[in-house]
Structures are given as structure tokens and as C-alpha cells.
Structure 1
Amino acid sequence: MDVELTVRVLVVNAGSSSLKLRLLGADDAVEATADVSDTDDIAATLRSWPRPDAVGHRVVHGGAEFTSPVLVDARVKAALHDLVELAPLHQPKSLAGLDAVQDVLPDVPAVACFDTAFHSTIPSYASTYALPSAWRERYAIRRYGFHGLSHAYCAKKAGAYGSRVVSCHLGAGASVTAIVDGKSVDTTMGFTPLEGLVMATRSGSVDPGLVLWLAERMPIDEVTNALEKESGLLGLAGTADMREIEAALDDDPRARLAFDVYIHRLAGCVAAMTTAAGGLDVLAFTGGVGENSAAVRTAVAARLDHLGVRVTGAAEFDITAPGAPVRTLVVPSREDLEIAAGVRTVHLGHR
């Protein structure tokens, strides 16, 4: 057995209201899994599990400095706190998870794995906003990209079928990434996870002039809250759940509009990422909606027929229609495996 796969890794995935814990043992076998919501639950859960050799934390933002997994020490933790201003709605959750687990396992090495790291290979012409250079330098403004752990895992699974992959991570948050030879070359999320696709409660890209117009008419925190938590599918259909929207397509005009807007934006972003990749060999769907909604996949494929995307309605890994020049895959999201791989590399390198 590969020595790396003998390292038992606790994977910590911090969400908006809970921590998802998963313990991976030899050969990445899942030894235990749990969703916990407070410090007492974390302590009780981890004390009942086998002791890990290392802990891997999903951290949303690594900024320009952290482009690969890193062993967490006092300097790294301070740097991660400094990045809170770049992701104020997400970074604190990651840091709270780090602190909570370290309270229970203070002597177990902790490794931070970053959602932004996979996108560090995006060329400058795709990562640079057309803003004054003084702003870009002073505030570290650039397109960072997110969902990198998911896209990286998807790239590994899909890369065996072609070098030019467009990966669609469709969940509560959603993004599309262009991948060439396993490396990200463009993505739809930018400086924050608000840019790009229509999401469950996030607006995705809107005219910046609209945001300025709204900010003149209401408090900026109301604008921020609405764009993050009251927009997207929820704002269009009154529900953030794609399953409910699909069930109401024939009866509720709001559901039909929400679905059509979602598909229009998604198909357009896939086409844009195809251009960034220089063509399309593989289209991959992952995340809760990407994996489970045949209706979304079929509707997007219909809009992308001119690119060679044609699919079956089957619920399997390869959903490519016979004769289609582009391979279309459904890849179960396993960010935990991507995190564990990064943890083992760092952990064994520091022994």
C-alpha cells in the first residue's frame, strides 16, 4: 500500500451553519462522518472517533500567497485572518472550524487546503479586472476563483477523457471552470464567490452600475444581504431548491422563469469557458444540482448542441449520447479526497 494512504486524515468542511466532518483511513476508506453544529458536538464527536494523524481544513480564501496546501502555524493562521476582508461571509466559518477542532486535537497537525489555490494558474489576462492599478495593488483586487477543491477533483476524473475540460460545480453556490491539461485557465467566480452563475440565493453577475444605483437608495448592508441571501433562485422563484422549481415548471410562471434564467446563464458561461479552453473535449457536472438534476443537464446540453454536447437522461457517470463529439460526465463531488491528498503530501513532507 502507498505509504501516503496509510495516513488517517480528518477532513473538516466548514459550511454556513455546520461543520461536516469525515474521517478517511487507509485507501481513503470512510471510517466515520458527521455534521456538527457547535463546539460541544465537535468535541463529543471527535472524542468518540479514532485519532487522526492529521487534519485537513477546507479554507475558502488563500489570497495570492497560499497556492497549495500549507501546514497551519501561528503565522499562517494570522495570515488567514488577514484575508477575512476578502471573503467576509466565508472565511470566518473556515477559521471557526479550525479553532474548534484544534481545541479538541491540539497536538494533531492541521493543514489548510484552499478553494482559491487551484485557480492560481489562471493567466493574468483572465484574472485581471480593468480597474485602476492603484486599486488593484492596494487592495489585492483580482479574480481569485472558488470551488477549486471540487474543480480540481473533477479535473482528475474527467481529464482521462480529454485535455480540454469544462467543469460545472452546481450546488447552492455554483461556478464553471475551464481546465486545460489539469490546470485552471479561467473560471466564473471572481474577487468574491458572488460573481458568475445564478445560484441558490446569490445573484451571480449583475451590472455594477445597478449595485451603485441601489447603494444610493438603501443601506449598503441591505444591498449586500439581498445579493447574497435573497437573490438567485430564491429571488426569482421564491425557493432556493432546484427540486421544487423543477416540480413546479408546468404550473408556476416564477419557477419557469427561474429555471430558464438559470439555464441561460449556465449555458452562456459554459460557452465562454469553452473559448477560454480553446475547445471542448469533456463537459463535467458535479455538486448537488449537477449530479442530481437530469433536467438541468438536458436543458444545458440542448443549448450547447452547436458545441457538440448531447446527453442521455441516464443517471450514471458517462451520459454522452451516442455519436456526440463531446464527452459529458457526471462526477460525484469528493472534495474530501482532494483535501486528504493535499494533507498527506504536506504531512509526510514535514515528518
Structure 2
Amino acid sequence: MKVLVLNSGSSSIKYQLFRSEDWVSIANGLVARIGEPEGELRHAWLAADGKEASSRESCPIPTHAEGIDNIVACLRDTGSLADVSELAAIGHRVVHGGSHFKEPVIVDDAVVEAIRDVIPLAPLHNPGHLSGIEVARRLFPRVPSVVVFDTAFHQTMAPTAYRYAIPEYLYTEHRIRRYGFHGTSHYYVAKRAAAVLGKPLNTCNLISLHLGNGASATAIRVGKCIDTSMGLTPLEGLVMGTRCGDIDPAVLIYLSKNLGLSTEQIDRLLNRESGLLGMCGVNDMREIDRLAAQGHERAELAIGVTVHRLKKYIGAYYAELGKVDAVVFTGGIGENSAKIRALACQGLDRLGIIMDDEANSATDSRGERCVSAPEGAVKVLVIPTNEELEIAQQAMTAVGLQ
């Protein structure tokens, strides 16, 4: 059997097709610029000889329905999916499940309405997700659709961690609280970290650091999330590519009163024009690292602020957990930047976090690996994330086939 994973946005659909017996990804691609005059189609697949093949073309894609039709046609044409009957499930990524969902669920009308109900909490994401879900249900009525929520893993947080110190009615009537995101990634790498440690997940205390253009930290006690850095939205927490992360709320008032900025302008400023981009004009850590090596002061500052914030979260979560088995780095920066990993762990020897500089900087190392010194009480792990695989596996579990 096979599982199709769809990540449907407002104007795009990413997909990946997995073979369930060995969880090999046999096809993936992107349908972009849906609804625009000229859409884009990218497909890659494993050919009969085991080599990867790919195609790319441009054509109008008026709706999500045409986009998914194109995906299925390509899967059939390339032999990746001979017939829809081969599909055991379709897994859908949904950014926000509010407090409704703590685990994956098979889609029915009530689930659709619950996702629609939290659109005010994720107005840029959930409408696009719903479009993909509704099209898949209509086109493939006999294939169960399963939704996996970015927020679900964090629903084990206690009220002391997820409540803001604001008037009660804002929580009870308007659902303003911390939800957290990147949950699918944090759960996946937590399971893989437990396997690397040779321990059951429900015995592991971990600090998971998903570092990419979006970045978040999560404290995991005995396999469950007890705290995470993102909040009501993905804006809170660590320094990110274009998001500011933690900031004094009074800055928003200042921007409005003294600069005359509208709520839309403030939203754009903090979400799209801040973070690494705002500090040094670049949001790619590889380029920032190159500029810093050349003595670019703003690039050096951007790295310094990023690491300073990262260390604060490591320290805070260590204090919350009391005992830590491993610090886990994942995401594009976490997996590939030896410098950021080294700086984040620098000076934490007394906490038992000791980096093995040679292992950390080894350029020929890829995949899951330990980069801490043998004498360190806390392991430092690098675990490549795979959110699509996690969604596929959770979808199979939800339909009772795993």
C-alpha cells in the first residue's frame, strides 16, 4: 500500500508519495502559483531502474482541484501509482488545530468544521489546507483522508506553560493562548533521538531545536512536550529568517503611536522584514556566515543575537526538565551549520553539554549522528527531520494499518 502526503497552501500544493512496506519516498513534487495566469509543475520520481527522474513545466492551474488532478496524472504516467486503489490513506498537513486536536484524525464533516473554526488563529494557512482536504475528499471518496496538526504534539503542555498572563476572557472567549508549532518535526526527531540513545521515548528528556527559516525549541519530558517557544502564532520565540521572535509587546504600541504604522504594516514588519533579514539584510544563514567571516559587523551581530536567544531557551528548558538526556538539532540550520551548533553549546560544560569539535565539524558526516564529547553527560545529536514521513506514518496508524 501507499500513502500520499499533501501540504496544501493558499496557492500551492506540495506532495510526497510513500511506499508503506519500507517507507521509501517514490515520488514528490510541487504545484505552484495556483490561480495565477501561469502555474508551475515540478515532479520527481523513482524510475523503473531505481534512478530519480524529474520534470518541470508551466501551465495555468486555476484551482486546487486541477492541481491535485495534475499530481495524480503524473503519478499514474510515471508508474508511481498505477491506480488510486493502491492508496491506503491521504495524509494532510494542517498548521493549526487549536485546542481541539491532540492527535491525527480521519477527516469527516465535523473535523472540517473544527478546522474551519480555528481559521481566525491561522488565517494564512488553514484556508489553503481546507481547500486541499475538501478536494481530496471529493476526488477520492473511498480513500480516507487523515489530518496531522503542527500544534498537536504541544497539546500536552500544562496551563502554566500555555497560558498568557492576560485577562481571563481573552482566553475563554477568544482562545488567546500558546499553541506551539513544528510539532510534527519535534515529535519525529524525538522518536529518532530515542532510537539513537537506545531508550524508549517515554523515558527520554530532550531539548529539541528545529532551526531553519522558521525556528522553534521544545522541552520534552518522558516523550511529551511540556513547553515550546512558539506561541499563539509562529512569531514568538527564537530569532528566525524573517520573524523577530520574542519582543517586548510595547514595541507594537510604540510602532503604532510614534511611527503611525497600521496593524497590517506591523504584521509585515515583524513577520517578513525582521529576524536575520532585518538585522543584516540576508536571511540565509550560509550567506550570513560567509559575510561574518569577512568581518561584516551586522552579520556578526545577527549570529550573536541568534545564538544568545538559543542559549536562553536551552538554559530555560534545562531548568524546567531538571535532567536532560540529549539536546537535538534539526532543520536546515540545525542539521547543516556546525558553527551555530558549536556556539549554542559553547560554555555549557557545567550542564554536561560538551561538544566534540571534530565530530561536529566533520564535513563528510550526514544523517543521524552524535556530536558531543564522550565525557558529556548530555548527548548532542543531529537528527534530520522528515515531517512528510511522520505524516504518512501517522496517517497509516490512524486508519489502523500500522
TM-score by length of 2: 0.81
Structure showing greater relative contact order (alpha-carbon pairs closer than 8 Å, 6 or more residues apart) = 1
Task: Tell me how far apart the structure 1 counterparts of residues 67 and 172 of structure 2 sit (CA, whole Å).
Answer: 42
Report the counterpart of residue 201 of structure 1 in structure 2: 242
In structure 1, list runs of 5 or more residues that go unmatched: 1-6
**Matched length:** 343
Which letter does structure 1 place at the counterpart of 2:399? H
Q: 1:43 aligns with which of 66, 69, 81?
A: 69
Report the counterpart of residue 306 of structure 2 in structure 1: 262
Q: 1:18 aligns with which of 12, 15, 21?
A: 12
1:19-56 superposed Cα distances (whole Å, 9 cap, x missing partner): 32111112212121112213444322222321322100
Report the counterpart of residue 172 of structure 1 in structure 2: 213
Report the counterpart of residue 281 of structure 1 in structure 2: 325
Task: Tell me how far apart the structure 1 counterparts of residues 3 and 248 of structure 2 sit (CA, whole Å).
Answer: 43
Which letter does structure 2 place at the counterpart of 1:225? R
| 1:159/1:165 contact within 8 Å kept | no
Q: 2:91 aligns with which of 26, 50, 56?
A: 56
CA positional deviation for 1:99: 3.7
Report the counterpart of residue 24 of structure 2 in structure 1: 29
Report the counterpart of residue 319 of structure 1 in structure 2: 371
Task: Tell me how far apart the structure 2 counterparts of residues 261 and 95 of structure 1 sit (CA, whole Å).
Answer: 37
Report the counterpart of residue 297 of structure 1 in structure 2: 341
Indicate the structure (1 or 2) with the bigger Cα radius of gyration.
2
CA positional deviation for 1:106: 4.2
Task: Tell me how far apart the structure 2 counterparts of residues 201 and 18 of structure 1 sit (CA, whole Å).
Answer: 21
Pair 100,293 (structure 1): closer, same or farther in 2 beyond 3 Å: farther
Percent identity among equivalent residues? 44
Pair 123,304 (structure 1): closer, same or farther in 2 beyond 3 Å: same
Q: 1:230 aligns with which of 261, 269, 273?
A: 273
Pair 301,15 (structure 1): closer, same or farther in 2 beyond 3 Å: farther
Task: Tell me how far apart the structure 1 counterparts of residues 350 and 138 of structure 2 sit (CA, whole Å).
Answer: 54
In structure 2, list runs of 5 or more residues that go unmatched: 35-63, 76-80
TM-score by length of 1: 0.92
1:231-256 superposed Cα distances (whole Å, 9 cap, x missing partner): 11110111111111011113311111
Over 3 Å off, 4+ runs: 14-18, 38-42, 99-107
1:53 partner SS: strand
| 2:90/2:143 contact within 8 Å kept | yes
| 1:72/1:110 contact within 8 Å kept | yes
| 1:267/1:304 contact within 8 Å kept | no
1:245-285 superposed Cα distances (whole Å, 9 cap, x missing partner): 01111331111111111111111111111122222210001
Report the counterpart of residue 3 of structure 1 in structure 2: none
After superposing the two structures, state which structure 1 stretch, 89-98 or 140-149, moved more.
Answer: 89-98
Task: Tell me how far apart the structure 1 counterparts of residues 285 and 22 of structure 2 sit (CA, whole Å).
Answer: 34
Task: Tell me how far apart the structure 2 counterparts of residues 115 and 298 of structure 1 sit (CA, whole Å).
Answer: 28
Task: Tell me how far apart the structure 2 counterparts of residues 222 and 99 of structure 1 sit (CA, whole Å).
Answer: 32
| 2:354/2:372 contact within 8 Å kept | yes
Aligned-CA RMSD value: 1.8
Task: Tell me how far apart the structure 1 counterparts of residues 176 and 126 of structure 2 sit (CA, whole Å).
Answer: 17
Report the counterpart of residue 4 of structure 1 in structure 2: none
Task: Tell me how far apart the structure 2 counterparts of residues 326 and 207 of structure 1 sit (CA, whole Å).
Answer: 33
